[in-house]
Structure 1
Amino acid sequence: MKSSAIHQRGTVRTVQLALLSAIIFVLALTPLGFIPLGPINATTIHIPVILGAIWLGPAAGGFLGGVFGLSSLLINTVRPGPSSFVFSPFYAASIGMGGAKNALYSLLICFLPRILIGVAAGWLYRGLSSLCQKSRAWQTFASGLCGVMGSFVNTLLVMGGIWLLFGPVYAQQVKNVPYSALGGIIMGVIGLNGTLEALVAGVITALISAPVAAVLSRQRR
């Protein structure tokens, strides 16, 4: 009976990960992954990663972050844009002199920040929820805080990686500005886009996470 229950929980967890992975791809491939906020579009693709980390733990969050990175790689390879070399090794290899090195850099930017979204959000939620497990209001607050932090992790690491690893090329080919001006542009993206995306992620995560977490908790009993 015990092994059967463990197998059933494993099956349910696999289905949950598959559903969240499918949602990530749907958001990445459609306009549903972006919310217009004035002059910018705030991405929502990272929200299933954060929710999965809260519901299923940091390891699952890291897996879903990898799915997010994979979706980014595929989209930037199949539907390339001016900045696709940042996320696709197939285009990064053709930039400048260091082909293989640039391809490795693009994989690093594409996957590492997205994986760390889930890992960081999952561990933060575990730490915060352990402080007051029985308080629904506290869990809602903790979920929202995880949404904010997970979103900032993505923005800071992606934009910081672009600045450090592809700065001169990104300044010239994407922004058409001198490299000396790129730092200010990236800080502006982090300050404006990053803040708005973090607020959106925090609100949506807080609204969705606690009710679903309560249902999942009852199912595990």
Structure 2
Amino acid sequence: MKNSALSEYVKTALLTAIIFLLTFVPNIGYIPINPVINVTIIHVPVIIGSIVLGSKKGAFLGFMFGITSFIKNTFFSTSAMSFVFNPLFHISTGYYAGALYALVICFVPRILAGVFPYYVYTALKKKITNVGALLTAGVAGSMTNTILVMGLIGILFKNEYTQMLGEKAANGVFAFIGATILTNGLAEAAVAAILSATVAKALLVMKKRS
């Protein structure tokens, strides 16, 4: 029991370190494809942790993902979208509700992205193939993050986001958000599903043997 608990803490610490590495090493975890959108794979360690270690540790890893989002966008801003994750920006402008909204976007989607994959995998692993359950859990975690982040931006920062988009929002901000989810979001989900399923499968085999 002690060895099992220690192993889980080591894996959690390792996945946390990977989250920070992906965040702060340029162009690894956040891959800028235009001034507005960054494609991210930082949620992959969160999804892996959720599947292998359970929803609580998955939520913790999601929280750490949120911490890195806060730090990067508050102190090392490189994207036009950084303001939606930066509470200090809104405090400096006197928009205190915006500061709370930024914290919600930073943490809520990331934490839930660490919770849902565990339950999706647990629900499906006895109904479909193990690989199918792992892939589906990976898609669920990635899309949870993407849909909630983009949806909350549209709800909480609609005016500011529309102004930032300019001509790109000609058909409406939610049309742009929907297009982003269907393009970047699905691409991220596919990558996350493959990576998380591959690594999680290996870790689950090791866990079973031990």
SS in 2 for 1:32: coil
Matches within 5 A, 1:46-195: 46-80=43-77, 81-95=79-93, 99-131=95-127, 138-172=129-163, 174-177=164-167, 181-195=172-186
Q: Which runs of 5+ in 1 are unaligned?
A: 1-5, 133-137
SS in 2 for 1:93: helix
Alignment equivalent of 1:11, drawn from 6, 10, 15: 6
* Structure showing greater Rg: 1
* 8 Å CA contact 1:61, 1:118 repeated in 2: yes
What is the TM-score with the length of structure 2 in the denominator?
0.89
Task: Give the Cα–Cα distance (whole angstroms) in 2 for the partners of residues 35 and 208 of structure 1.
Answer: 21
Q: Which runs of 5+ in 2 are unaligned?
A: none
What is the TM-score with the length of structure 1 in the denominator?
0.85
- Deviation of the 1:181 alpha carbon: 2.2
Task: Give the Cα–Cα distance (whole angstroms) in 2 for the partners of residues 164 and 216 of structure 1.
Answer: 42
* Residue number in structure 2 paired with 1:135: none
* 8 Å CA contact 1:109, 1:162 repeated in 2: yes
SS in 1 for 2:157: helix
- Deviation of the 1:28 alpha carbon: 1.0
Which of structure 1's runs of 4+ aligned residues deviate more than 6 A?
none
- Deviation of the 1:35 alpha carbon: 6.0
- Deviation of the 1:163 alpha carbon: 0.2
Pairwise CA RMSD? 2.2
Between the aligned residues of both structures, percent identity stands at 39
SS in 1 for 2:42: coil
Alignment size in residue pairs: 205
- Deviation of the 1:180 alpha carbon: 6.3
Residues 92-122 of structure 1: per-residue CA shift (max 9 Å, x gap) = 2235x6x221111100011000000011111
Task: Give the Cα–Cα distance (whole angstroms) in 1 for the partners of residues 32 and 191 of structure 2.
Answer: 11
Task: Give the Cα–Cα distance (whole angstroms) in 2 for the partners of residues 168 and 88 of structure 1.
Answer: 16
Q: Work out whether 1:42 is the aligned partner of 2:39.
A: yes
Report the AA paired with residue 89 of structure 1. P
- Deviation of the 1:205 alpha carbon: 1.8
Report the AA paired with residue 52 of structure 1. G
Q: Work out whether 1:217 is the aligned partner of 2:202.
A: no
Task: Give the Cα–Cα distance (whole angstroms) in 2 for the partners of residues 15 and 151 of structure 1.
Answer: 24
Report the AA paired with residue 20 of structure 1. L
